[in-house]
Structure 1
Amino acid sequence: LGSSELDRAGMEGGEKQQHHHHHFVLIHGVCHGAWSWYRVATALEAAGHRVTAPDMAGCGASPGRGEEVASFEEYSRPLLDAVAALPEAEQAVLVAHSFGGQSLALAMERHPEKVSVAVFVTATMPAAGKPMTYAFKQLSQGKGPDFFMDCALGSAGDPRNPDKTFLFGPKYMARRVYQLSPPEVCLLYSGR
């Protein structure tokens, strides 16, 4: 949301309503970090809202590397801890992008009393009764072998039932993810 949309959110029928400030928890997508929310976080804070944007394990400024993360729960632990740490009567607005939707769903399942609203911004949603890999398979369906270009696919965790790992390559980022963004956004990503 831009600041004008946030300003209008407090207007109804031409009269300014009392502002209710919320706590937003912003959940980044795969291969990103909290940095990817910098514009949204700045606008929300300028409007008086609280913002928490954790780096998932092995992403952004978090210690360690993605391939060292043993499970999806470990990957999502920073979010789960942030939501669990909310004061007893507080609820937050959870906003996820891309694969962050999977972590958002896990946080909702573990701490439903802490979530006032869940927003999936072009985010994956778990399919009832399907494994987590189902969403990725649906995304990949019909794509040629070169679609993911220089991305690195791997696995981690239990060898009998491994979690899939995925790392965007620079060519993929420039052509498929940030093709409409200014070049400095790719630089932010490369410094993840």
Structure 2
Amino acid sequence: MRSAGHRVTAIDLAASGIHPMRLEEVTAFAEYSTPLMDFLASLPLGESIVLVGHGFRGMSVALAMERFPEKVAVAVFVAAFMLDTSSPPSYVLDQD
């Protein structure tokens, strides 16, 4: 992506990758997704991104699309959890 001239940012969600929070400290899904929500909130007005989520991060992508629809130009779900429109958000986790 970078070699094609795109800016790329990889965000570690709470308790993932190099993020300093430990898994035992994450008490809610919104807290897990906070690094992504903070990143989107920091984008300048009028700037939008292509957001890619893999696996469980698909839920964070869906949350980001809901909270920041003007900042997510395209969302890509790669083998990701996805919510449906007729079940409560916990349905996917309950089935897993």
Q: What letter corresponds to residue 133 of structure 1 in structure 2?
A: S
Counterpart in the other structure of 2:42: 85
1:130 aligns with 2:87: yes
Q: How does 1:5-44 map to 2 (within 5 A)?
A: 44=1
1:73 aligns with 2:30: yes
Whole-angstrom distance in 1 between the partners of 2:19 and 2:86: 32
Q: What letter corresponds to residue 27 of structure 2 in structure 1?
A: A
Whole-angstrom distance in 1 between the partners of 2:94 and 2:4: 39
Size of the aligned set, in residue pairs, is: 96
Counterpart in the other structure of 2:17: 60
- Where 1:63 maps in the other structure, the secondary structure is coil
The answer for unaligned runs of 5 or more in structure 2 is none
- Where 2:33 maps in the other structure, the secondary structure is helix
Counterpart in the other structure of 1:117: 74
For residue 137 of structure 1, report the CA deviation from its aligned partner.
3.8
Q: What letter corresponds to residue 22 of structure 2 in structure 1?
A: R
CA displacement 1:29-63 (0-9 Å, x = unmatched): xxxxxxxxxxxxxxx11221111111111111011
Q: What letter corresponds to residue 117 of structure 1 in structure 2?
A: V
For residue 90 of structure 1, report the CA deviation from its aligned partner.
0.6
- Where 1:95 maps in the other structure, the secondary structure is strand
Whole-angstrom distance in 2 between the partners of 1:117 and 1:80: 16
CA displacement 1:76-134 (0-9 Å, x = unmatched): 00001111111111110011111111000000100000011011111111122423332
For residue 72 of structure 1, report the CA deviation from its aligned partner.
0.4
Counterpart in the other structure of 1:106: 63
Task: Name the structure where strand makes up a greater proportion of residues.
Answer: 1
Q: How does 1:165-184 map to 2 (within 5 A)?
A: none
The structure 1 segments of at least 4 consecutive aligned residues displaced by more than 3 Å after TM superposition are none
- Where 1:118 maps in the other structure, the secondary structure is strand
Pick one of 50, 53, 63 that aligns with 1:96. Answer: 53
Q: Which has the larger radius of gyration?
A: 1
